Amino acid sequence: MFPFSFEWAWDAGHLLFFGGMWYTVAILGAGLTFCLVKTIADTLAGKGSHH
């Protein structure tokens, strides 16, 4: 799963599978982080409070 795991091999299979997995995790993580940061900023700025 990680390059430091004993069974890791730098071959096409590992690069494709885990490259795809970590790439997806990164996209989802970045998207959620953006949402959370923007939400905190919006809330501190008083947005949504008069809703």
Partner 1 sequence: MDSALIPEGAKRCPFPVFAAGIAIVGVVVLWGVYAMGLCWLKGLNQTNMNDYYGFALWIWADLAVIAIGGGAFFTGLLRYVFGIDELKNIINLTVVIGFICYSSALLILAIDIGQPLRGWFIFWHANVHSMLTEVAFCLSLYFSVLTIEFIPLILENRQVDKVPFFHNLGHNMHGVMAIFAATGAFLSCFHQGSLGGVAGVMYARPFAYREGLLVWPWTFFLFTWSAAAYGPCFTLTVLKMFEGITKKKLVKDNVVHLLAKISGWMIFTYIIAKIIDTIYWATVTAPSQGFKLMDFYSDNAFYGIWILILEIVICGIVPAIILTKKSFRENSRLLLIAVVLGTLGVCLNRWVMVLQIMAVPVMSFDTWALYFPSWQEIATTVLPVAYGIILIALAYRYLPVFPQEKELNAD
**Letter for the amino acid at 42?**
D
**Shortest CB 44 distance to partner 1, Å:** 10
CB 36 to partner 1: min, Å: 7
Name the DSSP class of 15.
Answer: H
Q: Which is nearer to partner 1, 3 or 32 (CB)?
A: 32
Task: Find the binding residues for partner 1 in span 30-49 (CB under 8 A).
Answer: 31-32, 34-36, 38-40, 42-43, 46-49
Structure tokens at 38: 């923007």
* Angle CA 12–16–19, to nearest 5: 125
If binding is defined by CB under 8 A, does position 21 make contact with partner 1? Answer: yes
Q: Dig out the tokens for 19 from the structure.
A: 């490259």
